[in-house]
Structure 1
Amino acid sequence: MKFSNQELLKNIQEIGHVSQKELPVKVSYAIAKNISKIESELKIYGKEREKLIDKYAQKVDGKPLSDKNDQIIFKPECKEDWDKDIKALLDIESDINVHKFSFSELNGFKLSAADLMAIDYMIDEK
């Protein structure tokens, strides 16, 4: 299944929340496997993002500057290039072999609509 880096960043937080709940073993295992796969992809994203930060950020003593809200301060002449490159990085898609489970595995367990939406792509409806 294909996911953009932006989708993976959003999804890892959502399924991380669901993974903290008491779930059936098969469901918990599938979620844990998928988290591991997503984290692996996001490590690569993180390294590439750091390269862009290093390239475009204002620096003091070789370290990127940030404002009082911990937002990175970019060189004024590089802001457009940063915006373009980070968008391109966020749009890159990865193909992840999603570990699935049957919806019936959730029988008797209460999950919110938001929880179900977060793990929807893991549910095998066959």
Structure 2
Amino acid sequence: MKFTNGSIVGTLNALATMADIEFPVQVAYAIKKNHRKLVAEYKDYEEQLEVLKEKYPERDKSKEYMSDLQTLLDIEVDIDIHKLDESVFTNGVFNITAKQLEIMEFMIEIE
């Protein structure tokens, strides 16, 4: 599945909001597995971000920094996402909010 670096950052932040929620084993496993894969890609983004920060010490005022940052955020990476069948959510006996479902949408296989 294709992700931009920017969407990886957003997805990781969103998944972090669900860290204390108790999900069925299958769902929790998928979240943890996908989180690990996203973090691995995030580390590459973070390393390059540090290079940009060193290159542009006056980054708040630099159009070049903002341009390079946007380029970095827009880079696409392919991540092998562990998918869950939608039946896990429709047949499950657990409460999930629409917001939580939206956060996990990228890992739901819809038939």
Q: Same fold (TM over 0.5)?
A: yes
Q: What count of residue pairs does the alignment treat as equivalent?
A: 109
Asked whether 1:104 is paired with 2:87, we answer yes
TM-score, with length taken from structure 2: 0.91
Could you tell me whether the CA contact under 8 Å between 1:16 and 1:35 is conserved in 2?
no
Stretches of structure 2 lacking an aligned partner (at least 5 in a row):
none
Could you tell me whether the CA contact under 8 Å between 1:30 and 1:99 is conserved in 2?
yes
Seq. identity, %? 34
Q: Report the CA distance between 1:33 and its aligned residue.
A: 0.5
Q: Which of the two has higher C-alpha Rg?
A: 1
What do the CA deviations read for 1:29-52 (whole angstroms, capped 9, x no partner)? 011000000000000000000000
Structure 1 moving runs of 4+ over 3 Å: none
Could you tell me whether the CA contact under 8 Å between 1:19 and 1:31 is conserved in 2?
no
Q: Report the CA distance between 1:75 and its aligned residue.
A: 7.4
Matches within 5 A, 1:8-87: 8-58=8-58, 74=59, 76=61, 79-87=62-70
Secondary structure, in 3 states, of the residue corresponding to 1:18? coil
Distance 1:23 1:121 in 2: 17
TM-score, with length taken from structure 1: 0.81
> How large is the Cα RMSD of the aligned pairs?
1.4
Stretches of structure 1 lacking an aligned partner (at least 5 in a row):
59-73
